[in-house]
Amino acid sequence: IIRIGTSGSLQASIPCGSFVLSKFGLGLDNMLRSYLIDEISTIEIEDAFVKHTDWDLRKGKPYVISCSEKLEKIIESDRMHKGITATAGGFYGPQGRVLRLNIQDENLNSKMDNFEFESNKITNLEMETAAIYGLGKLLGHECLSLNAIIANRATGTFSEDPYKAVDELIAYTLEKLI
């Protein structure tokens, strides 16, 4: 299973129009905690993230699941940025966006920006990857998530043509698979 989608970069070095291969999915949504995930999760990264961000455990403990190494080897290239994809449970507050309501941790995005574990940084933020990786592994599937970056939160820039980036990522992925 290969997910191709869009997301916003958290790193200034990953500009709009570039591609991200999610080496790990960091679930901020607590969804997979309903399942037995101890044997598929990466507890060392989970614990380091909780400590680094001073995570409020009343929100539930984040979980980290790795991608399929088999699919990673097929798709990776110099064109792909690799790292940890943070998966939020919603579009506004869970991704640090403030509209009319205050959020629990207004500094969470900046804490995520500078988190690093064994050279893996949190590269981007979206809403699907960690759950796909976890459910996929539990059900015996090989899963990989690829993102076309259409916004860069670190630089405040946005893609002028997000459809082009998605089309290019689809073409790139098909070329690697064929």
Which domains does the chain carry?
2-177 (3.40.50.1580)
Distance CA 74, CA 143 (A): 12
Closest-CA residue to 108 (of 93, 120, 128, 123)? 93
The confidence score (pLDDT) of residue 95 equals 59
Q: Check residue 41 and report its DSSP letter.
A: B
Q: What are 116's two structure tokens?
A: 């690093």
- Kind of pairing, strands 144-152 and 120-126? unpaired
Percent of the chain predicted with pLDDT > 70: 93
* Across 88-111, average pLDDT: 71
Residues with Cβ within 8 Å of 175's Cβ and at least 6 positions away in sequence, in order, are none
- Is the whole-model pTM more than 0.85? yes
Residue type at 99?
L
